[in-house]
Amino acid sequence: KIAFSGCKNHPCGLTSMHDLGLIAKKAVVDGEEKEGFEMYVGGGLGAVPFLAKLFDEFVLPEELLPLSQAIARVYARLGEKQNRNKARIKFLIQKLGIDEFRRLVKEERTTLENDPGWTEWLSNVESYEEKGRGPVTQSETVDLGDAIADFEQWKESNVYQQRQAGYVSVTLALPLGDLTGQQMRDLAAIVRTFTPDAARTTVEQNIMLRWIHEADLPALYLALKEIKLHEAGAQSIIDITACPGTDTCKLGISSSRGLAGELRQRLAEKEWQYDVSLRDIRIKASGCFNSCSQHTVAEIGFYGASRVVGQRRVPHFHLVLGGEWDNNAAQYGKGVGVIPSKRVPDVVEFLIDTYLKERQDGEKFPAFVNRVGRKDIRDRLKPFMDIPDYETNKEFYRDWADSREYSIGDIGIGECAGEVVTLTDFGVAKAESIYFDATLLLDEEPMNGNVKAAADKALEAMLKAAQGLLKVCNIDISDDPAVVVQEFRTNFYDTQLFFDPFAKGKFASYLFKAYDSRDGDITLDRAREIIEESRLFIEAAHECNARMLQAGITSPAGFKKWMIDREMQTV
């Protein structure tokens, strides 16, 4: 994935989260000012996010293709071939280190024979330049009638001045990124009328129209209003990005679209989209941990999860705070806790109210989160994490925009099942607490001094989650890490009981890898990776526990019966 950005301080190309990111800049080369790019490599979101690393401070346009080819060749030669989940440049750079990766690429570049195609395209660059045209309305006066106030709000939030005098770009806010077929046809006619065919989709699930003449804005607004694409609030706190989630995606755990729709409605009722102090806050919701909505770079991000309460599934969302959308997504957010889905809107309102009351002059939301600290924020949010029992409030056991009960169904309860399930739940819950402590270690100063301790704590969290699952086999399972790892491998990995329906043994491998490398040197990047993998392992442990409950594996006797049935099926 490759991204180009025209500037460094804005979220133009989001270069920090791409395999190859290029930011336009000028530099003096041999006494002459030239145009080129700052080059970054190895970024990516997904389940384990990595910020791209600086590869070269200045690359001339004629070197873009040969350098990219050298990067691709090094990756093709040394990148992961067996495990598809690790087949990304970010993992190769994490393994080699950016200095060694840079050395290999530079060395590879010297071996490439000159190709005229590397520079032939440069002479054609100017042909891609766009030009505006005169106003469509000419000297006509457009009567906005009683829509004047709404027009001014729309103009304030959705219209942006271009570099070219007299022209603006207009963002069409699409709730949940949706358009009807008729709206598409009508919009195509509007684009042809008011622009030189200059429309594009945006990363925030909107549509941007470029080269709109300022004199045409009233007429354009009325045309958009006619097809119901005139809503204000584009790129504001109510302009929430959501992936398909449980609506259509087989990996979806929680209803990200349902949550986004509810949040948009509640925040719009407060008219927060017009609050200048909240203009830079983005909210993004993913149905699972795979970052499809880019929740990692949102100031307030969510991704789907589930928990078992009283033998029923309850939809939840992980809360991620402090991501930075500006500066090309220069900072990723960090986890704070897991919130019941039906309490998420209350949490968002609480966070925004707290920010408005306690922020310092000019302090943006990510800086506020860093100053207050995630531990303090988590403590304040604990009342929102409580879940009423099923009979008290059944709504907590349904997801947003879904009337069906979010449940694992009826299960059989064997002898001592209550105690064993409690021990398993307790172990996995304790693992979450240990994981959070690991993340806090990297928040402390000096951060680098806590790298090894953070990695060890993340491994401890995985071991605690694995031990919690093993309680279903042996209530008296040892605390010895070697025993836990071996027993987990035998009872949960070799039997595939821990396997995710889609990722298979991926999450279990995180525990094995972290344990096997526990005595080795730990870099800051590796510590961050182990912490992220610990989070995913714990989430997989929750899902495994839910599957066991559904299958009636709630005691040593139930586990033994499952093993016998499994062996009989393989005969």
Total domains present in the chain: 4
Distance of CA 275 to the CA centre of its chain: 25
pLDDT at 140: 72
Structure tokens at 321: 């705070």
Sign of the C-alpha dihedral, residues 93, 94, 98, 104? negative
Is 143 a member of any domain? no
Contacts of 442 (CB under 8 A, 6+ apart): 450, 451, 454, 524, 527, 528, 531
Q: Kindly state whether residues 404 and 553 are assigned to the same domain.
A: no
Distance CA(569)–CA(119), nearest Å, equals 63
Distance CA(526)–CA(534), nearest Å, equals 12
Structure tokens at 161: 């001045």
Distance CA(342)–CA(390), nearest Å, equals 13
Q: Kindly state whether residues 337 and 245 are assigned to the same domain.
A: yes
Q: How far is CA 462 from CA 109, 266, 434, 534, in A?
A: 42, 38, 9, 6
Distance CA(203)–CA(63), nearest Å, equals 28
Distance of CA 531 to the CA centre of its chain: 16
DSSP states of 271-325: TGGG-GGGTT--EEEESSTT-TT-GGGSSEEEEEEEEEETTEEEEEEEEEE--B-
Is 135 a member of any domain? no
Structure tokens at 235: 């790129």
| Contact by Cβ (8 Å): 450, 498 | no
Distance CA(290)–CA(532), nearest Å, equals 12
Through-space distance between the first and last CA atoms of the chain, rounded to whole angstroms: 47
Backbone torsions φ then ψ of 317, nearest 5 degrees = -135, 135
Amino acid at site 86: K
Structure tokens at 75: 């990756």
What number of other Cβ atoms are within 10 A of residue 462's Cβ? Answer: 32
Could you list the pLDDT tens digit for every one of the 571 residues in the chain?
Answer: 999 999 888 888 999 999 999 999 999 988 999 999 999 999 998 888 899 999 999 999 999 999 999 999 999 999 988 877 788 999 999 889 999 999 999 999 999 999 999 999 998 988 888 888 889 887 678 888 899 999 999 999 999 999 999 999 999 999 999 999 999 999 999 999 999 988 999 999 999 999 999 999 999 999 999 999 999 999 999 999 999 998 888 888 899 999 999 999 999 999 998 888 998 899 999 998 888 999 999 999 999 988 888 778 899 999 999 998 888 888 899 999 999 999 999 999 999 999 999 999 999 999 999 999 999 999 999 999 999 998 899 999 999 988 888 753 333 333 223 333 346 777 888 898 899 889 888 887 655 568 999 999 999 999 999 999 999 998 889 989 999 999 999 999 999 999 988 889 999 999 999 999 999 989 888 999 999 999 999 999 999 988 888 888 888 888 888 888 888 877 6
Sign of the C-alpha dihedral, residues 269, 273, 277, 282? positive
Q: Kindly state whether residues 296 and 432 are assigned to the same domain.
A: no
DSSP states of 205-262: S-EEEEEEEGGGHHHHHHHHHHTT---S-TTSTT--EE--GGGT-TT--S-HHHHHHH
Is 146 a member of any domain? no
Is 69 a member of any domain? yes
Distance CA(506)–CA(500), nearest Å, equals 8
Q: Kindly state whether residues 248 and 221 are assigned to the same domain.
A: no
Sheet with 20-29, strands from edge to edge, namely 2-5, 20-29, 32-41, 53-59
Looking at the DSSP assignment, which residues form a beta bridge with residue 24? 37
Looking at the DSSP assignment, which residues form a beta bridge with residue 20? 2, 41
Backbone torsions φ then ψ of 399, nearest 5 degrees = -90, 170
Q: Kindly state whether residues 48 and 182 are assigned to the same domain.
A: no
Is 132 a member of any domain? no
DSSP 329: H
Q: Kindly state whether residues 212 and 249 are assigned to the same domain.
A: no
pLDDT at 420: 36
| Contact by Cβ (8 Å): 386, 307 | no
Residue that terminates a domain, selected from 381, 410, 439: 410
| Contact by Cβ (8 Å): 199, 210 | yes
| Contact by Cβ (8 Å): 93, 100 | no
Contacts of 69 (CB under 8 A, 6+ apart): 112
DSSP 409: -
Q: Kindly state whether residues 259 and 395 are assigned to the same domain.
A: yes
Query: Could you tell me the CATH number of the domain that includes residue 210?
Result: 3.30.70.3340
| Contact by Cβ (8 Å): 30, 60 | no
Amino acid at site 190: I
Amino acid at site 89: I
Residue that terminates a domain, selected from 384, 410, 436: 410
Is 136 a member of any domain? no
Q: Kindly state whether residues 428 and 562 are assigned to the same domain.
A: yes
Backbone torsions φ then ψ of 278, nearest 5 degrees = -105, 5
Query: Could you tell me the CATH number of the domain that includes residue 419?
Result: 1.20.120.330
Backbone torsions φ then ψ of 198, nearest 5 degrees = -115, 85
Is 131 a member of any domain? no
Distance CA(313)–CA(333), nearest Å, equals 27
Query: Could you tell me the CATH number of the domain that includes residue 393?
Result: 3.30.413.10
Residue that terminates a domain, selected from 173, 200, 226: 226
Domain that holds residue 195: 158-226
Backbone torsions φ then ψ of 393, nearest 5 degrees = -150, 100
Q: Kindly state whether residues 455 and 380 are assigned to the same domain.
A: no
Find tokens 């409030």 and name the residue.
Answer: 393
Find tokens 């209550």 and name the residue.
Answer: 418
Q: Kindly state whether residues 514 and 372 are assigned to the same domain.
A: no
Distance CA(219)–CA(257), nearest Å, equals 32
Q: Kindly state whether residues 74 and 172 are assigned to the same domain.
A: no
| Contact by Cβ (8 Å): 345, 262 | yes
Amino acid at site 217: L
Distance CA(237)–CA(239), nearest Å, equals 6
Distance CA(239)–CA(263), nearest Å, equals 10
Q: Kindly state whether residues 519 and 571 are assigned to the same domain.
A: yes
Distance CA(496)–CA(491), nearest Å, equals 8
Is 144 a member of any domain? no
Distance CA(313)–CA(49), nearest Å, equals 28
